[in-house]
Amino acid sequence: MSKTILITGAGSGFGKLAAYALAQRGHRVIAATYAQMQADALATEAGAAGIALQIIKLDITNEEDRRQLLGSGIDVLINNAGALFNQRSVSAARFRRTGECAQAARR
């Protein structure tokens, strides 16, 4: 059965590999990147490879960006977005926002 899967941090690394693999297995993948430049590069690369992804720019710390997830019918969330940004610790507010992304995806 095909699922709708949101993958944050899909612009590179594990997130991109997971997005490609799941899309190739017939799932509807919403591949979220932190910056529009990443989204554009991912769209070009996935298109050239014949991989169908729905690509969005999603900064999980931005409420407006999170709001675009409402009504997306997401079945699975792979919350892969970087939260530390080369810091040794993360603030409670930033950690809370990653949870808010998951809550928005469930609506």
Separation of alpha carbons 30 and 5, rounded Å: 6
Residue whose entry in the numeric block shows the structure tokens 């591949």: 31
Separation of alpha carbons 107 and 35, rounded Å: 24
Structure token pair of residue 59: 């900064």
User: Rounded to 5 degrees, what are φ and ψ at 25?
Assistant: -90, 10
Are 23 and 51 in contact by the 8 Å Cβ rule? The answer is yes
Report residue 63's pLDDT band, with 50, 70 and 90 as the boundaries: confident
Name the pTM for this structure.
0.79
pLDDT tens-digit readout, 30-62: 999 989 999 999 999 999 999 999 999 998 778
Eight-class DSSP state of 19: H
